[in-house]
Each structure stands twice: as C-alpha cells, then as structure tokens.
Structure 1
C-alpha cells in the first residue's frame, strides 16, 4: 500500500536545499575569485619586489665597478652599506661580490636580517649557478622557496669591461606573509558580506519558492489521500509555480472523474465477480463431485485389485498345500492372521484337517506295523500250539496203548503228564498274550476308522469352502465386468481403470480354475478315504473274529489245564482202575484234537490279519511313503 509522503523540513526541504546550493555556489565562486585575486596579488607583489631588487642590483653593480676592479674590499663593503635601502635590510639575506676570476671579495649580511639560520643551509647548486653567471653578460634570477637569487655582472662602463659578479640573496617570505595577512582581512570582509547575501537569498527563496512549494506539496498530499475537494493554491501566478498549480487543478478534476468512473467500474466488477464466483463455485462443486467419484472408484478398484491379488496368492498357497496333501505330505500349515474371511476359515480348517490326518496316518501306520508284528507272533504261537497239541495227541494215544500196562509205566505217565502240564501252561500264557494283542488291534482299528471318518468329514468341509471360493470368484468377475463398463463410460480417463478391471477379471478366472482343480483333488482324497474306511472296517471285523477265536482257545486251554491237573491228581490213584484212565485219556485226546483244529483256525486268521495289515500299510504309504519307509 502506497503511503503519503510526510511534510519535509530541514535539509529534506527542496527550498532549503536550493537556497543552500545557491549559497554554496556563490560562496565557492567568491572564494575562488578571492583566492585567485590573492594569488595574483602575491605574485604581483613578488614581481614588483623582484623587479625593484633587480634594478637595485644594476645600480649597485655600476657604482662598485671601479672598486671591484681595484679589489678595494673596504670601499666595496662601504658602498653596500651606504647605497642599500634601509627597508631592504630585513629582507636582504646575503650580498656577495666576486672578481673576474670568481674569487669572493665581500660577503655581507645586514644586521637587521633575522633568519640567520638559513645562511648555514647547504647550497649544492650554487657553484654551477656562479659558473653560469660568470659566463653570462645578462642578469640571472633564481627562486628557491622563499629565497630570491639575483646574479648581476659588474661592468666598468668607461671601458665596457666586466670586472666581477654581484650575487644578492633576498628572503621574499615576509612579502608573502604580508600578502597573506591582507588576503585574510579581505576574506573576513567577504565572509560577512556572503552571510548577508545568503540571508537575503534565503528570505527571498522562502517567500517566492519554499512557501508556495509547501502549499502545493500539502495539496498534492490531499490529492494522494483521495481528497479531490481540496482547493489548488497559486493558480493566478504566471511562473512555474502557477503552471504546476494549474496542472494540479486539471489533475484534481481528472481524478474526480476517474473516481466516479472507478466507482462505476468497481460496481460492474463486483457484479461480474459475484457471477464469476457463482459459476466457479458451481464448476468447482461439479469437479469436486467428479473427482470424489473418480477417487472412490479408483480406491475401490485398488482395493479390488489388492484383494484379488491377495486372493490369488492365498489360493496359490492353498493349491500348494493341497498338492502336497495329494502327494501324501500333510505337514503343510496355512494361516493368515491378518485376514478374517471364508478363505481364512477354510485355511484354518485345512490346517486342522491336515494336522489330524497327519496324526491319524501316523497312528494308522504304527497300528499296521503293530498288527503285522502281532499277526506274525500269533501265527508263530498257533503253530507252536498246534505242535504241542499234536505231541499231546500222540502222547494220549501212547497212554491209551499203554493203559493196560499202567502199573508198569506209571512213572512214564507221570513224566508225560508233567510235560503236558508245562506245555498247556505255555499255551495258556501265549493265548493270553494273543488275546491282549487282539484287544489292542480292535482298539487301534476303531481309532483308525474314527480318524479316517474325520478325514472324510473334513474333505466334505473343504468342498463347501471351495463352493464359497467359486462364489467369490464369480462376484469378483461381475465386479470386474462392472468396472470395465464404467471405464468405457469414462472414456479416455477410464483407460487405466479398464486395464485394472481386465486384470481383476483374469485373476477371477485363475481363481475359478484353481478352485476347480482343488475340488478334483479333494474328490480324489475322499475316494481314497472311502477305500481306507472300507479296509479298516474289514480289519476291525477280522480282529473281532481273532479275538473271539482267542477266547475259545483260552477257554479250551483252561479246560485242558484243569484236565491235566485232574490227570495229575488221578495218577496217584492209577491203581483204582484202567477204565477211568482210559476215559480221561480219551477226553484229553478229543480236546487236544479240538485244540489242533482251533490252532489251525488261528493260523488262518493270523494269515488273513497279516494280509490286511500289509494292505493297510500299502494304503498308508500312499499318503506318507517316506515316513513309512523310515518306520519300516
């Protein structure tokens, strides 16, 4: 914002500066003129003094010519004292008279000369000056500082013969001092006159220039402040001040008209500004709405792209985990803690399923190994039991053949009976162990059946999650299609959204393909799981049958042990009768044969159990081949 200049005073005033400038110019001119006049006065005084001194030197040289020629120094000295003017004694420093050969005859200094210290100053130029003076017939002058040297030839006018040289040294400093004193007095008088002149100039300048200019300045200040009603002074004057006042009056009138036009222009501009602001506000609102819509669509597209990309990565992880599971590796774990959607829940279900399957397959493999080992042990026990039973049959037959000779072979019967008792005890012990193994096999088979059934249920849950993923992929495809349509509507600005929508659409297709492949893999797992459930059911039935057979064997062994005990008790009463012994031996033979048949059935069941265990191991090896090999 432009500010109005303040009222000027002192040296800032134009009138004062003009008065000071005029005064300085006049004073400078006066001082220059005074200095030039003083210099001229001094030079004039010096010239007059030099002229007079040169003239006096001619007179002295003419008067002492005869005395110098006769070399009468006393008369020469007396001539100097007599004919030198008294006023010159204060300014006459030295007078020397030389003969024709250059020898000095007289060296005179007046008593009134005060600056005698100057006489002791060295003058290296003086010999050359004397030689030059002796060769010249004219007067020679030399000025050095305040010293004025005049060399005048002494000539005998009668015979026109040079007889010597007169050398006079004047001190002209006193002449300069007198001239300077006179100039100082003149300068004081001139300064007083200059002060009076400056005062008159200032008064005239103030009345004729400063006051009118101040009035015009105040008027200009009012005009600058926008006061167009002020009166312009000094319009009646015919000088430059009057011209300025008239020009200011024209400026005031024009400013007043300009104010009116400005007010009209401002009113029009205000109206146009309001209309423009309204239009700009409407346009800005439209642009903001459009930008907000585009930003929302952009953010939505970015979110969809990010979600689709995240979905693709997560589905790829699911695919890798399912591939590993289809290859028999259930150690894969899938989890996205930062996500909370159906895919995350499906991943958690799969992780738990794989964990349960891994534990179940491990337990099934261990059970299969244990069943295989137990079947081998059971087969060995059945063969051992069959062998013992065969021995018992043969011994019973031998007992029957020798029953008639019982009295003779009581000792042998006792030994055979003891051996048979031991064998029966071994059979009873092995039968008990076989019963325990069968019970454990039943329990493990039931646990394996439960785990495999859980695997089937989890596979069904995976199928449901895959349906959810297919639904998400279809919705993503629809969203990509809608984004493509919106981008086509947006024209050039929507090309970037069209590309993004196309990528989202492709990701949705890849997701659908991946879920379809997962569905096939899960169906394969369900088929294998059904086979495993069937095999385990068969194993359970066979193990139940083995358990029943073992119970029969245990019961028979118990009866045989009881019978053997009876034999042992009755051997001491052999003498009571061969009929009872024959009857007992016949019973032992029958029961022993029944034990042989049961052993054959146990051996057959053990073989079937071994085959089922091998089938179970083969089935489990499809899921965890490496671990089963290590376990084997």
Structure 2
C-alpha cells in the first residue's frame, strides 16, 4: 500500500525543498537590500543633521551680520549728523569771512580818504606858512595813521583769503564725506537685502531638513518592516524544509 504513493511524496518533498531554497534566497536578498538601505538611511540622517547644523549656523551668521550692519548704519547716521553740524559751522564761518572782507574794504576806503585829506591838509598848511605848521603836524599824523590802517587792511585781507581757502577746502572735504556716507548707506542697504535673502534660504533649508528627516524616519520604519518580513520568510523556509524532511522520512518508511 505504501509503494505507490512514495514517488509522489518524494516529488512533493523535493518541490518543498526547492521552494524553501527559493524562500531562503529571497530572504537573504531582502536582508542584504534592507541592510544596504539601512546604511543609506543612516548616511541620510547624518547628512540631514549636518544640513540642520549648517542652516542654524547660516541663520546665526546672518543675525550677527545684521547686528553689525545695524551698528554700522547707526555710526553712519552719527557721522552724517556731525558732518551736517560741522558743515553748518563752516558756512557760518564763510559768511563771517565775507563780513570781514566787507569791513576790510570799508576800512580801506576810509583809510584812502584819510590819506587824501591828510595830503590836502599838508598842502593847505604849506600855503598858510608859519600859521599852518600845526596843521602840517596833524596832517602828517593823519597820513601815518591812514598808512597803518591800509597795511592792517591788507593784512586782514590776506588772513581773510586764507580763511576763505580753508573754508572752501573744508566744505569740499565735508561734501566728500557726505558722498562717502551716502555710498556706504546704499551698500548697507544692499547688504541688508542680501541678509534677508540669506535668512530666507536658511529657513527654507531648515524646513526641507525637517521634511527630509520625516521622510527618512518613514523609510527607516519601512525598512524595519521589510527586515521583519525577511525574517518571517526565513522562518517559513525553515518550516518548509522541516516539512520536506518529514515527507522524505515518510516516503522512506
């Protein structure tokens, strides 16, 4: 009774062993792929962590630059204010110099008239003879005073000219400072715009990093499930092998 079914049992056992071998091969391949995927996920996690640190450093650097730029802008405002105040003083000094120039011209004109009067007085004193000697002394003193006044007037004019040249040079220097301050302000505006863009990039990198981490976590969970399935396939393969062995033992009885 046992002779006829034995070949069928042996064939079934062989098929089961083949199935078990295939299952083990599949389980090994899945475990290998899962291990490789796990390594990739680990590397991705490391990369995501480094990217997060980079985004944080980028945001910190942007904040520090923004603070420094704000301090520089405040300094430039102070420079511009002080320059404006100094320029106003220079303008006042220029007006004062013009006033001195005007007074010097007036004094020079008076001195010139004094010389003319002194000359006329000496002429009249010479005509008067002995009677006009007193007038001649007075006329001489008036001429000397007029001459001294003219010399002082020229000295004032020279000094006024020096002051005016200094005022002009100072005004030019202040205008150059104002131009430099304006250029610096424009540059700071460009830097602030770049900082805002940098901060936006840092925020976007941080957001993408969080998304990547979430996706990596999901991938790790999926890989864990695959590994568990591979282990279950391995267990099933061993069970199939045991069944095949039992069939072969039954076939040999």
Short-chain TM bin: 0.5 to 0.7
Q: Residue 478 of structure 1 corresponds to which residue in structure 2? A: 116
Larger Rg: 1
Partner Cα distance (1:408, 1:470) in 2:
90
The Cα shift of 1:471 comes to 0.8
1:544 equivalent to 2:182? Answer yes
Query: What SS class does the counterpart of residue 46 from structure 2 fall into?
Result: coil
Partner Cα distance (2:214, 2:179) in 1:
50
The Cα shift of 1:548 comes to 0.6
Distance 1:577 1:477, change over 3 A: farther
Residue by residue over 1:352-407, the C-alpha shift from the partner in whole angstroms, topping out at 9 and shown as x without a partner, is: xxxxxxxxxxxxxxxxxxxxxxxxxxxxxxxxxxxxxxxxxxxxxxxxxxxx9432
The Cα shift of 1:577 comes to 7.4
Match of 1:418 among 56, 73, 93: 56
The Cα shift of 1:478 comes to 2.0
Residue by residue over 1:130-182, the C-alpha shift from the partner in whole angstroms, topping out at 9 and shown as x without a partner, is: xxxxxxxxxxxxxxxxxxxxxxxxxxxxxxxxxxxxxxxxxxxxxxxxxxxxx
Q: Residue 558 of structure 1 corresponds to which residue in structure 2? A: 196
The Cα shift of 1:437 comes to 1.5
Tell me if the contact between 2:58 and 2:199 (Cα under 8 Å) persists in the aligned partners: no
TM-score (norm 1): 0.26
1:441 equivalent to 2:79? Answer yes
Structure ranking higher in helix proportion: 2
1:514 equivalent to 2:152? Answer yes
Match of 2:162 among 499, 518, 524: 524
Tell me if the contact between 2:83 and 2:174 (Cα under 8 Å) persists in the aligned partners: yes
Partner Cα distance (2:107, 2:150) in 1:
8
Partner Cα distance (1:576, 1:412) in 2:
15
The Cα shift of 1:534 comes to 1.3
Q: Residue 221 of structure 2 corresponds to which residue in structure 1? A: none
Partner Cα distance (1:406, 1:424) in 2:
26
The Cα shift of 1:570 comes to 2.8
Partner Cα distance (1:461, 1:534) in 2:
21
Q: Residue 99 of structure 2 corresponds to which residue in structure 1? A: 461
The Cα shift of 1:575 comes to 4.3
Residue by residue over 1:315-367, the C-alpha shift from the partner in whole angstroms, topping out at 9 and shown as x without a partner, is: xxxxxxxxxxxxxxxxxxxxxxxxxxxxxxxxxxxxxxxxxxxxxxxxxxxxx
Superposed counterparts of 1:62-141, under 5 Å: none
Superposed counterparts of 1:94-243, under 5 Å: none
Q: Residue 491 of structure 1 corresponds to which residue in structure 2? A: 129
Partner Cα distance (1:499, 1:464) in 2:
32
Match of 2:89 among 433, 444, 451: 451
Q: Which runs of 5+ in 2 are unaligned?
A: 1-41, 217-253
Q: Residue 505 of structure 1 corresponds to which residue in structure 2? A: 143
Tell me if the contact between 1:435 and 1:551 (Cα under 8 Å) persists in the aligned partners: no
The Cα shift of 1:448 comes to 2.6
Partner Cα distance (2:78, 2:129) in 1:
75
The Cα shift of 1:554 comes to 1.2
Displaced runs of 4 or more, over 6 A: none
Partner Cα distance (2:214, 2:164) in 1:
72
Structure ranking higher in strand proportion: 1
Residue by residue over 1:562-609, the C-alpha shift from the partner in whole angstroms, topping out at 9 and shown as x without a partner, is: 32223223321114779xxxxxxxxxxxxxxxxxxxxxxxxxxxxxxx
Alignment length, in residue pairs?
Answer: 175
Partner Cα distance (2:91, 2:205) in 1:
53
Residue by residue over 1:52-92, the C-alpha shift from the partner in whole angstroms, topping out at 9 and shown as x without a partner, is: xxxxxxxxxxxxxxxxxxxxxxxxxxxxxxxxxxxxxxxxx
Tell me if the contact between 1:435 and 1:547 (Cα under 8 Å) persists in the aligned partners: yes
Q: Residue 428 of structure 1 corresponds to which residue in structure 2? A: 66
The Cα shift of 1:423 comes to 1.6
Distance 1:484 1:577, change over 3 A: farther
Residue by residue over 1:219-247, the C-alpha shift from the partner in whole angstroms, topping out at 9 and shown as x without a partner, is: xxxxxxxxxxxxxxxxxxxxxxxxxxxxx
Tell me if the contact between 2:115 and 2:143 (Cα under 8 Å) persists in the aligned partners: yes
Residue by residue over 1:109-145, the C-alpha shift from the partner in whole angstroms, topping out at 9 and shown as x without a partner, is: xxxxxxxxxxxxxxxxxxxxxxxxxxxxxxxxxxxxx
Partner Cα distance (1:542, 1:406) in 2:
49
Match of 2:172 among 516, 534, 544: 534
1:567 equivalent to 2:205? Answer yes
